[in-house]
Structure formats: C-alpha cells, structure tokens
A and B are shown apart, each in its own frame.
Chain A
Amino acid sequence: DGGITQSPKYLFRKEGQNVTLSCEQNLNHDAMYWYRQDPGQGLRLIYYSQIVNDFQKGDIAEGYSVSREKKESFPLTVTSAQKNPTAFYLCASSFAPLGNEQFFGPGTRLTVL
C-alpha cells in the first residue's frame, strides 16, 4: 500500500531535550513538508523540501531542523530552542510543484512535560 507513515503517534519529552519525528513515504513524491497544528489555528508550514539534499524554511522554522538524505524520508527534529513545542505535527508529500495535491501522514502529537 502506498502512503505516508509517521512515527510515533504520541511522543512525550522533557523540557530541554531534542526529539526527532519520523516521516516516510513510498509514493515516489519529490516534495515533502512538515506542518504544525495548534488548537484554533490553521496548519503552519515548518519546513519543506522539493528534492533530495535540499530544503527550505517555512513560516515557523525557528527551533526546528530537518534533513532530506533520501527521497522517501524527511525527519523533523524539534530542538530545545523551540519555545513552545507541544503541538500536533503533520508530514505531507506531493508531486512537484509545491501547490499540488498533498497527501498527509497520520500525525504525531508531541507533548513537552
């Protein structure tokens, strides 16, 4: 089955710790994205990548880092520099260009204790 997987579904971390969220797709999509969703707000773009070994900051990249070493994978690291990391994180992918239909993963809910 083709699709996007994110793991884990729920993640808890202590303040001051870095944590990495996984995102894998087998749809052969070139573009991948990370979004953050907070209650009462629309999805906000953290980072996106249009091609392997290249990625761009989105609207709220501070405190986050990404890598794109393989076409299928786009992990997101939430660093201790992110002031308010508790949120629901969604990964998505699409065929280029960026405005095309996006396919979303199931999301990871991160809670900082």
Chain B
Amino acid sequence: KNEVEQSPQNLTAQEGEFITINCSYSVGISALHWLQQHPGGGIVSLFMLSSGKKKHGRLIATINIQEKHSSLHITASHPRDSAVYICAVVGFTGTASKLTFGTGTRLQVTL
C-alpha cells in the first residue's frame, strides 16, 4: 500500500462543475502540498498546508490531520483546469524531512 493515496485516479467534468480530489496518507506528517502538473510536464505548487483550510481563487484545500486526509476543491471548473493534480506529504526520515508523492489525479474539464 502506498503511503499517499489519491482518488479518483481520473476525473472528467463539465465546465462549471464543482470538483473534489481526495488525498489520504498513512504516515505522520508536518505538512501537505497540492501540486498541478500541466500536459507539457511543468509542475506548479498550489498549496502547502498543515492544518485547516486555504483558498486561492477558485481553489480550496482542506486538511484533517486526525483523519489523515486532505481534499482539493475546484469551484466553477474551466477547461484550463485540465491537468494532473498531485498530493505530496512532508514526512520524516532520520533527521531530514522527506516529500512523498501520490500518483496524481488526472482531471479533464470539457465544454
């Protein structure tokens, strides 16, 4: 079992729909990242959070440390939101922090 699990693996939505992507993890963490990878391969950091909720434009990220779960929500989805969304958790290995990545959720938003 992977330390970081994302669901769904693939998601198709129509423009305007509300979208939720989930991330569950099995290790103790100090923070969680949400990343966006565009078809060309470039990755952009969307959020880094360790508790509660963050909002940026139409994107909202929440985390529940006790339940080891985070969600990324997209309101009023648009075709330009089509990308792979990756969850990564910051754990510990020895004395150093370590990022462990989920396999990503591929989102396709159609007109």
Contact = CB atoms under 8 A, between A and B. Distances in A.
A109 B100 CA distance: 21
Interface string A98-113: 1111111111010000
Contact of B48 (A92, A98, A101): A101
A42 to B, nearest CB: 3
B45 A103 contact: yes
A90 interface: yes
Contacts of B41: 88, 90, 106-107, 109
Tell me the dominant secondary structure on chain B's binding face: strand
A2 interface: no
Nearest to B33: A101
Contacts of B99: 43, 45, 98-99, 102
Contacts of B43: 90, 92, 104, 107
Interface of B: 2, 4, 30-31, 33, 35, 40-45, 48, 86, 88, 90, 96-104
